[in-house]
Amino acid sequence: MRYVIVSGGVLSGLGKGVTASSLGVLLKSLGLRVTAIKIDPYLNTDAGTMSPFEHGEVFVLDDGGEVDLDLGNYERFLDITLTRDNNLTTGKVYANVIEGERRGDYLGKTVQVIPHITNEIQEWIERVAKIPVDGNGAEPDVCVVELGGTVGDIESAPFVEALRQFQFRVGRENVCFVHVSLVPVLGVVGEQKTKPTQHTVKELRGAGITADFLVCRSEKPLEDATKEKLALFCHVAKDHVFSSYDVPNLYHVPLMLEAQGATRLLCEKFGLDMSRERPLMDQWREMTERVDSLEGEVNIAMVGKYTGLEDSYHSVIKALNHSAFSLGVQMRITWVKAGNLEPDAEHDSPEEHAKAWADLKAADGVLVPGGFGIRGIEGKAIAAQYARENKIPYLGVCLGMQVAVIEFARNVLGMEGANSTEFDEKTAHPVVIFMPEGSTTHMGATMRLGSRTTLLQNSGCTAHRLYGGAMEIDERHRHRYEVNPDMIEALEEAGLKFVGRDPEGQRMEIMELDGHPFYFGTQYHPEFKSRPNRPSPPFLGLVQAAVEHMNA
C-alpha cells in the first residue's frame, strides 16, 4: 500500500480536496486502485449536525455516513464508493480510545495523546485504506489521505504527529507528502510572494514532516523565478514545485499536474512503472475539452435558504453542471432566497421581493433542494406553485418534494392550512409527517440515511425513462419527515402521482404530476451519486426539460 498525504498551509479553502482528488486520478490512470481518507480535526463525530453555513453541505454515503463534502469530490473524481470510516474526525478517535480505556485495553497505563491517540489514528488509516471502494471487491493499491485545516492549528497537532510517525511505520518509500500552499500577489507591483509558503513549510518541517511536493495555489501560473525561490527555501527540487493556478473548470487540475510531470515524479517516488497506454487520461482530456466548448446557456433558479454560501449546495451544483455538460450547454444558476418570494416576510424589502420574483420568472427551470427548518418554507411552496401553474420544469429534492405536496394539497385539493408536522404540529391536514423511527431528542445520525431501494410502480412514468428502463432504483437518503401515506389516495386522484415507493409501498419516493412537461420530486437526494460522465437522472431530466422550455 502506498500513501499520498495531502496537507495545507497559510489558509483553508485552497483546494486540498481537489488536489487530493486530482492526484488520485493520475494514480488511477496508471491502472492502480485508489481510495481516499479525509481527516477532519474537529471534535464532532461526523458532519451530520453541522450548519451548511459554517461547513458547507453534509455529504451522504451509501452506508448512511454523514461526512465532509470533500468525500463527494473523491467519489466524483475517482468514481468510487466510500464508507463512513473514510472520514476520520477527532471525535471518532477519542471515542475509540476512551472506549478502549474503559474496557481495560491499556492494562492500567496512563492514556495519553502519544502513543494512544496517535496509534489509534495510524491504525485507523491502515485499516480503512484496505476497504474495497470500486465495486469489484479488490483491495486498493494507493490511499490518498487529506488532512483538513492548516498545519499549525492546535486541533490538528495530534494528526500531524501521527502522520510523522506513520512514515516510519509503513516505510518512508511508501509515503509521499504533498503540501498545498498559497502564493499571493500583493498590490500593483504584481510580484508573486513566497514568504507565506516558506513559513508553512518551515512549520511542517518543525513537526518532523518534509514535503516531497509543493502544490502552490495562485491566480496565474508560477513564474520560473518563483519556483526557484520556493525550491531554495522549502527544501524541495524545483520540478517538485507544482503550479496550481485558476482554471475555467476543476477538471483541468489533473491535466495541469500531469503536464508538470506529477505522474512521472509520483512513479519515481513509489518505484512504479509509467504506463504508455492511459485511457483514463484520454477520457479526462475529452471531458475537459467538451466542458470548455459548451454552447448556449440554460438558467435554473435555485430556491433555497442557504443561498449566501454555494458550498451549502455543493453536490446539487455539481449534478446540475454534469447534466449541462452532457447536453452541451452552459449552466447558469440563479440564486433565489426563498424568503424573498414571500409577500409579507418581516426581513424582506420591496426591492429584494421584486428581484426574487423577476429572477424566478426569468428562469428556464426551478429547483428546490433539500433543507431543514421553517425559514423560507412558504417561499419554496410559492416557487413550486409558480412552476406548477405556469408549466415551468420543476425538480424538488427531499424538502423540495415535500413543499410541492403541501402546496398541491392547499391549492388543488383545497386543504386550507395543509402542512408538514415539522412546521405545524397542529395542522388539520398533515400531508407530511414525522417518520416512525426518527428521533426528536437526538440530532446526529437519527434520520433515514444512506442508500435505499425505490421500486417504480409502472413503466409508463417519467422516472422509468430517466433511469434507463430500470424498475428498481438505489439512491441515498437524508430525512426525518415523509409524505403521509393516508393522504396518497386523494393526492393521486387529483393528478399528483407517486410513481416510486419503498419495497413495502408505504414510503413515497418519487412524485410526478399529470399533464405537466416536467414536475418531478424525489424524497431521496439523487445529487450524491451524480458523476461527470454519468449525470444524475432527475437532474438530467430537469435540465433537458429546461432546455426544451427555453427553445419552445
CA neighbor of 529 nearest in space, from 516, 520, 538, 521:
538
CA distance 549 to 529: 26
Task: Express the helix, strand and coil content of the chain in percent, nearest 5 each.
Answer: 40, 20, 35
Q: What is the identity of the amino acid at 202?
A: K
Q: Which residues face 453 on adjacent strands?
A: 474
The cell for 94 is: 477519542
CA neighbor of 9 nearest in space, from 181, 234, 216, 265:
181
Q: Is 286 a catalytic residue?
A: no
Through-space distance between the first and last CA atoms of the chain, rounded to whole angstroms: 55
Q: Where are the alpha helices (DSSP H) in 363-486?
A: 377-389, 399-411, 462-466
Chain Cα centroid distance, residue 238: 34
CA distance 74 to 84: 13
Q: Is 240 a catalytic residue?
A: no
Catalytic residue among 314, 322, 477, 525: 525
Q: Is 527 a catalytic residue?
A: yes
CA distance 209 to 35: 22
The cell for 526 is: 439523487
CB 498 within 8 A of CB 511: yes
What phi, psi does 377 have (nearest 5°)? -60, -45
CA distance 401 to 35: 34
CA neighbor of 377 nearest in space, from 347, 420, 417, 439:
420
Catalytic residue among 252, 398, 479, 509: 398
CA distance 219 to 447: 42
CA distance 543 to 393: 8
Cis peptide, bond prior to residue 115, ω within 30 of zero: yes
Q: What is the identity of the amino acid at 295?
A: E
CA distance 395 to 463: 12
CB 218 within 8 A of CB 244: yes
Count other Cβ atoms within 10 Å, centred on residue 198.
17
Report the sign of the C-alpha dihedral through residues 236, 239, 245, 250, in that order: negative
CA distance 535 to 72: 14
What phi, psi does 448 have (nearest 5°)? -80, 105
Q: What is the dihedral of CA 435, 440, 441, 443, to 10 degrees?
A: 70
CA distance 532 to 536: 9
Give the active site residues. 398, 525, 527
